[in-house]
Amino acid sequence: MTAHETPRTPYMPNESTHPWRRFVAVGDSFTEGIGDPDPAAPDGHRGWADRVAEVLSQQVDDFAYANLAVRGKLIAQIAAEQIEPAVTLRPDLISICAGGNDVIRPGTDPDQIAVQLEDAVARLTSTGAAVVLFTGIDTGFTPVLRAFRGKVAIYNENVRAIADRYDCIVADQWSLKTVQDPRFFGDDRLHFNALGHHEVARMVLRALNVPNDLRPMQPDPLPARTWREVRAEDLGWAREHLVPWVLRRLRHQSSGDLITAKRPEASPIAPYEPS
């Protein structure tokens, strides 16, 4: 069997329907769907993974989806708490986005973070499932995360190398220029809003070569604001989001300490109905 005939190749031609019946997503707040509120979702958040699962489920029978991601988790926690449960669910498609919370912590080494990612990927690919890996977004556009751009770029090169070694599919956020715009992010300036999650879902479906009818969503134009208004917004953001984040770090706490996976078991997902 050649590389292009293996069940994990990103180049599998999906001429009609896709080949997957059981999708399991692991990771942190990005995969949990934070920033994309939806009262109908199990934990009140929809997100890109739910959106992808909704499309996949419409094209095949007996499709099931689980989402084990929990906000705030570091890569060691994801590896310890989510990999074996994911394997136990016997998926044929797995997504893993991990390491982002580690990369933006001062003093961390993106190469060492990637070693932990590779260990997790090796375990997941040993099942024969197709595995989707994510590069991190290019943070050059945002003052909040611009300082970490170099570390993200180094980590991304490691992600691509791991994907090459284990024949994974790469969902490339770094090249997704559409979302490099503050209008695709929530009030915390860290997590995608509904527009951002929608665009990531479209990108993932392209990486999977799955036909779909999702269309680009255009954000509203930015309103004209005075310097004083911008300054007031920055101060409000720091008070509401930055200070609590710093305090959690000092207390060795996480936003996900009391949170459990929103979809721990693989089950059908209903078509989305706007509320």
pLDDT single digits (tens) 53-94? 999 999 999 999 999 999 999 999 999 999 999 999 999 999
Q: Which domains are delineated in the chain?
A: 3-217+260-267 (3.40.50.1110)
Residue 123, pLDDT > 90, answer: yes
Q: What is the pLDDT of residues 186-203, one digit of tens each?
A: 888 789 999 999 999 999
Alpha-carbon gap, residue 203 to 133, rounded angstroms? 12
Residue 155, pLDDT > 90, answer: yes
What is the overall mean pLDDT for the chain? 87
**What is the C-alpha radius of gyration for the chain, rounded to an integer number of angstroms?**
18
Q: Confidence band (pLDDT; 50, 70, 90) for 153? A: very high
Q: Confidence band (pLDDT; 50, 70, 90) for 4? A: very low
Q: Confidence band (pLDDT; 50, 70, 90) for 218? A: confident
Q: What are phi and psi of 6, to 5 degrees?
A: -75, 155
What does the chain come to in residues? 275
Q: Confidence band (pLDDT; 50, 70, 90) for 105? A: confident
pLDDT score recorded for residue 6: 45
pLDDT score recorded for residue 3: 41
Alpha-carbon gap, residue 122 to 157, rounded angstroms? 17
- The answer to whether the pTM exceeds 0.85 is yes
Q: What are the tokens at 79?
A: 């590896």
pLDDT score recorded for residue 223: 73
Q: What is the pLDDT of residues 231-246, one digit of tens each?
A: 666 556 556 655 556 5
Q: Confidence band (pLDDT; 50, 70, 90) for 10? A: very low
Q: Which of 65-69, 138-142, 213-217 has the highest mean pLDDT?
A: 65-69
Q: What percent of the chain has pLDDT over 90?
A: 65
Identify the CA nearest to 55 among candidates 218, 202, 235, 227.
202
Please state the rounded mean pLDDT for residues 171-192.
91
pLDDT score recorded for residue 194: 95
Q: Confidence band (pLDDT; 50, 70, 90) for 7? A: very low
